[in-house]
Chains A and B, each alone.
Chain A
Amino acid sequence: MNSSVRKTAFYEAFNARALRPEEVAERFVPSDAFRRLIRQAHSIVVGPRGSGKTTLLKMLQQPALETWAHPDAEAYRAEVTYTGVFIPTDLSWKTQIESLGAHDFSDQDHQLFEGAAFTVHVLHALATAMIYRVHRGPAAFSHRRADLPWLKEQAIVKEISSIIGVSPALPTLISLKHALGKRLTRLREVAVRERVLQKEGRRERLAMEQVLKMWYLEPTISCIEVFNDAVGEPRARWALLFDELELAPEWIREQLVNATRSVDERILFKLSLSPYDENVVQDSMLAPMQDNDYDAIALWHASREDGYNFCAALWQSLLSARGHSEATAEATLGPSIFDATEVALRTHGAYGPRSSHRRRFRDLAKKDRTFADYLSAKGLDVNSLEEGDENARASEIRKIISIVATRETYRVPDDSKGRQRVRSRKNPKLYVGAKSVFAMVEGNPRWLIAIGSRLLQGSDDEGRIPEAVQSRELMSAAHRFQAMLETVPVPKVGDHTKVSGVADLVGTIGEYFFRAVVLEDFNPDPPGSFIVDSNLHPDVVSILGRALNVGAIVYVPRERESVLVGDLIGKRFRLCYLLAPIYRFPIRLGREVSLSTIIRAMSEEGAHQTTLFK
């Protein structure tokens, strides 16, 4: 059982897609991203799978805000002075017609149906949001309730119905919503009919169809106007929350991205998108976003410290759910070797005679000639590290601690007789500790919840997780992640690229870093990140895009570079830290090298590769 890593998606069960807003709110932990998203601005949330995009958008709906009981919730609620309208991307926008096998539809015909289905979904979501404001039962924290006497409701439903051309069974918002649901059925009927009737005369027939005529924007604005007036808030704003736009037809996505330029000031757009989409001419789409029309919010963390606070808060909530409300992250998961801040080192007496760092330095120096040489060149003595009081020396040591620890863990002594060049470590203790765990889950709530609940199953009475449990569970999560990477579909690539898919590419890079850190001569600043250079075959770039969307590689924007990746060429990335125990690299952002260099170096190694890692 144990060895069979199931090839499924990676913890997809933890997904906010199917959750009701109230359920999302139950466990919601606010993040910096949420603080930004909530502002009265157009925003675009970008993040890999599981990074919490859907959750963030769903939290802006009234029922979510009304059930959210976090200590800071009141302050957040006060900032939401608009009505959130959540619109999940529905595959029917794109595939409905294709699924009918209507191959003879022109692009224009397609767009008619796509636009109509999209419009109905937006209006349906709008009606739902209106119902929330008027008709919900008592809530824990009432928020933006509207007082709409029955006669007024009747009047606005009649008005809205005539604007959008539906006839609800009753003059109520609930009926209005259902009438919109029926309209989708009607759309489908028309599509089926068209498939049967073929091309002849289609233009004319479609032109006659009322359901195909509407584009969401005007009716949305009219409906909002009617509602606002009825409840006496003529200037109130509405936020259209479009989730998973990467699944929407390109032209709709472009419309939305560009909409902010002209649209009514009562409407806010908040969109979510995965980091990379090869079908989009990225820069043309991203341009408007970068013109400050959109606040772009990235849900990943280039540096491992960034996500710490959010992870710690989420971890805290997982602990509380298990009855350890007093415990902290540091107390339950312990310190991390990779936490080489001065504070951490001092607190744990890192340099003292019995410290583990000191032992590592000594052990490595003993078995690694090149490291010993490095130390003596620098004038450092392993027996008196603690005397490095001068700032310069302390930082010298700090800089190399992660590399020393990793190297010491995996390197065999120079004089060892065996043919083995790497010490095998099944579940290395190297990667334990709060800072490491949080870095490895990459601030991704799905990963933290999934892995965290496994960890907590192995906790003691105070919620502490033994190192052995941590290393075992992290290793097993890493294996699952790697197995998932094997299954990521990629476009068929030619063999000129020398990489066959996401897992393969990531493996090549990881192995390269491992060599640099562990096998080659000691290097205080080995490579640990890469630049996507223009020498790469386009196929490789598109594989990288997939890797980015599933979180296998992480974008490291330079200063003043937008968090929106856009074109990958020229950008800097690192490997996801969850892969660290598999490829045995340190949790640290290393120097950059070009990806071409990596691929070239590794393919020259050729046959050795396979003997090195099994």
Chain B
Amino acid sequence: MAVDYATLKKGGFMRQKQKNNFSLRLRVVGGNLTAVQLAKIAEVAEKFGDGHVHLTSRQSVEIPFIKLDDIDNVKNMLAEGGVEPGVCGPRVRTVTACQGAAICPSGCIDTYALAKELDERYFARELPHKFKFGITGCQNNCLKAEENDLGIKGGIKVKWKEDACISCGVCEKACRTNAITISDGKIKLDESKCNFCGRCVKSCPTEAWDTVNGYIVSFGGLFGNSIAKGEAVIPFIDNHDKLMEICDAAIQFFADNANAGERFKFTIDRVGQDKFKEKILEVYND
């Protein structure tokens, strides 16, 4: 019987150079695994693999040296530990995330909650080519948002609360974009310079800022055979539901316009950056 490699690949089984051996990619969301999942993965690697796993470049885990005949047994055993196979090929891939605001002092958004939501909404959705989401919690960009087809970066929009301010001067120096100047005890915020990093908020001793946590979204990043930085075509998004609508619109634009095997960036370039921007702005302003 002929082996349907495309179906296996879709189900996360990556053909190895060693005949009849597959490296099984697992479904990981936002780079998190529970201890129970890890124990089960270890058990499967011992029993059905060669006793090692590979951590992929995008926060997944692969178990190499799985034999074709063991595929069903492997899936069943993994399921006992709440582990599912991942995907490869032309569809929505692993949603990656840094630790975000739930763990990291620098985080501006709950990246893991958002990764889970995007994973539930889009994971494995069939598209003309691969589509990668990446979520980073702040301007430190540990998760490299702009190398993804759709990158999300957390940020904080600030407004000075004069009555709470003691004019200590800390924020003026904490700001790395020189958006804050203080004179005569009054703070002036140059919004055109603010990059929403939130350092003024996080360093302020008296919480003298009104804050709105939100998202900076970039589109069309890729970092493989071709390399391009995703571009932010819309301003700061201060609303979670709006973010979801924009993700829907972007992925729909890709589904509607891309040629088979064409990455998002090249679809945007071919159809026109202006047309794409118009589409996304329409949703943004709606």
A and B are partners in one complex rather than unrelated chains:
no
A-side residues, CB < 8 A to B, are none
